[in-house]
Amino acid sequence: MKTLICNCNRTMPLDGPALSDALEDQLAGARLPVHTTLCRRDAGAFQRAARSGEDLLVACTQEQRLFQELAEQTEGAPSLQERPIRFVNIRETAGWSAAAREKPASVTPKIAALIAAAQLPDPEPVATVSYKSAGRVLVIGAADAAQQAAELLADKLDVTLLLPRAGGALPQARTLPVLAGRVERISGWLGAFEVQWTPDNPIDLDLCTRCNACIEACPEGAIDFSYQIDLDACKGHRACVRACEAVGAIDFERQAQTQSESFDLILDLGARPLFTQHQPPQGYFHVADASQLTPAVLKLRELVGEFEKPRFFQYKAKLCAHSRNEREGCTACIDVCSARAVASERTTTGGIKVNPNLCVGCGACTTVCPSGALSYAYPRAADQGTRLRTLLSTYRAAGGRDAALLLHSQGAGAQMVADLGRAAQADRSIRGLPARVLPVDLWHTASAGIDLWLSAVAYGASQVWVLMTGEEAPEYREAVGAQIGVAQAILNGLGYEGRHLRLIEARDARDLAALDAALQAPPAQGVAKPASYAIQADKRSTLDLALDHLLAQAPVKAETIALPAASPFGSLVVDSERCTLCLSCVGACPEGALADNAERPQLRFIEKNCVQCGLCAGTCPEKAITLEPRLWLADGGKARKQARVLNEARPFECVSCGKPFGTLRAIEAMMGKLAGHAMFQGRALERLKMCGDCRVIDMHTNPNEVRITDL
């Protein structure tokens, strides 16, 4: 890939020979010339590179639009649709910093790493989700505000107004459909909204001719030009009814009936949004004040036609630990979803369902999923792992030490990082990104979880920091913070000193100084030898690889590490005094962590498989099971991968043939519960002590003792 770098009019130090050496494999032996003004005086070099027909990477995002326009105007250059140009920011993320000013060579490893990661092949395409909008928009709000918004939309969209209350004014001319009533329910997404409302006003706007006779007749002034009656002000004179007698639009005795209709788009002008979740569906816009109206209108006007977005997730129902046999276990994905796209699957097989039309791709559900049933697909974990490994290995090979990864969103997070770099260039009290901090942009910061974090440390990262801005939902901060607590407990339990993982919050530019200070934190202890494994599609497999490597390199050979409640690892504590070995828990376990023994009454457990979903504890009729979040590393981690006995009991032997067929405690408990029952007296009670074969034989041998319960 042909790569162009520029020192932006000598405002940042770039060592071309050193970068060429660090990127020797990626550049196939080519050298990197350092341009001074690639977007101005040296533009010819860019055009020559564009005409070459090779894949092109430009290390500048400031003038991205200019370079794209220049490429389109360059004769002989392929079109951007045929061969898009890639861009990477090395100015705000590396060159504009105190480290670059004070020790220019210190930023070379970081710049090399950023360029190497930008040269990686694009991830494989993912499945898409389609939307289709004909442009039918419902504007909900007071009459005058709704009418104002409608005037900005009506030339492009099919507008309908819904007035939830009296107030404001409609124009005399009837130019738009107008509905009135209390919104009862709203659901759906772009192109498929369903709105239910109940007309609760005596004036029927379909019949009203807006003649204003009722307004003039009302002695209380309870009717305004929204052509709705303020029922709190109305005293019941009914002068309006008499004034409207010929038209018949006013009826105080009309029985309200809920109505519904479908729309493609919703513009909500109410004080409180009708969708209360943090991330409302696409196609819904809530405008709380006039300053927000114009941006919303501009977006609405473009939402006509067919649209696609990535299908952000993959779901493997057989791994899901949400429910079994109508018992609920893990609800982490449902609890964290800020778009309410995840819900219980009300079927006999259980599990969850994810609405791809509501999913916004935050990935928080995949981060908190302990089993890996939900995985992130944009990009896939394997692609993200390749990127992290490339960043860290290139940085290390170029001489960099103690790398810290700064995970941030491609939106507000990238803007915050860029703002910090610009601030460091203008204000020497701001240091900017340190030379060891490698920024990693994600579609959403909640999409990377404990498997990628621990793998990054195994790959040689000293730290992994997650930057969250004002765009993330509160649920995400809590969930990511809890998972960070688990990962940090594992690392500290293995003897790695320092703080490796951290959630950094910087909501806007006012927090730049605090962000700058947070990034100056000292490095934490990392691995002596970086791992080389590839991230797997299965989350649990990746975690096993990461743990094996971290354990092999660990300064302390711990046997057991206590973990917080959010842990995807753990054991079970079984109260042997209460457990009857009914094995209900075995049938409930979705991960194969619990098993019986065909040879003797035992409950066996493979700790590596346990995801701490709690289905076993919820299913146990004796309430004998308690979860124990922990990481068990006995015998170098091998013990947790082998079956061990949690509880066993003395078998009960058939009173007829002597064959063991149950446990002593289970038979005693059953007889104790049934001994007083009228249907279990005499021989019928004695048969409870027999195995299945002997019970059948006895029923035929002693037919006079057969009762209904025996059949």
ω into 295 cis (within 30 of 0): no
- Identify the pLDDT of residue 598: 82
- If residue 145 lies in a helix (H) or strand (E), which one and from where to where? helix 143-153
Same fold, 310-376 and 569-648: yes
What's the rounded mean pLDDT across residues 548-561?
95
Span 605-628, average pLDDT: 96
Neighbours of 76 (CB within 10 A): 10
Mean pLDDT taken over the chain:
93
> Which one of 1.10.275.10, 3.40.50.720, 3.30.70.20, 1.10.150.120 gives the CATH number of domain 310-376?
3.30.70.20
Q: In the block, which residue shows the tokens 């025996």? A: 710
Domain ranges of the chain: 132-303, 310-376, 382-555, 569-648, 651-710
Segment 610-624 shows an average pLDDT of 95
Average pLDDT over residues 370-390: 96
Domain 569-648: give its CATH architecture.
Answer: 2-Layer Sandwich (3.30)
* Residues 64-117: tens digit of each pLDDT: 999 999 999 999 999 999 999 999 999 999 999 999 999 999 999 999 999 999
Q: Are 605 and 646 in contact (CB under 8 A)?
A: yes
Rounded CA gap, 681 and 674, in Å? 9
Smallest CA-to-CA distance from 464 within 443, 480, 477, 475 is with: 480
Q: Which of 627, 572, 576, 577 minimizes the C-alpha distance to 594?
A: 572
pLDDT of 708 over the 70 cut: no
Residue 348 pLDDT level (bands cut at 50, 70, 90): low
Q: State mean pLDDT over 575-594.
A: 93
Tell me how far apart the alpha carbons of residues 422 and 96 are, in angstroms, rounded to a whole number.
7
pLDDT in tens, 534-545: 999 999 999 999
For residue 705, name the pLDDT band (cuts at 50, 70, 90): low
| pLDDT tens digit sequence for 423-437 | 999 999 999 999 999
Q: List 9's β-bridge partners, or say none.
A: none
Alpha helix segments (H runs only) across 459-613: 474-493, 512-518, 539-553, 584-588
Fold of 132-303: FAD/NAD(P)-binding domain (3.50.50)
| 271-316 per-position pLDDT tens digit | 999 999 999 999 999 998 889 999 999 999 999 999 999 999 999 9
How far is CA 569 from each of CA 223, 371, 593, rounded to the nearest angstrom? Answer: 65, 10, 11
Q: Is the pLDDT score of 679 beyond 80?
A: no
Q: What is the pTM of this model?
A: 0.89
| Cα 490 → chain centroid | 23
Model pLDDT, residue 711? 40
- Structure-model confidence comparison of residues 485 and 703, the more confident one: 485
SS3 assignment, position 627: strand
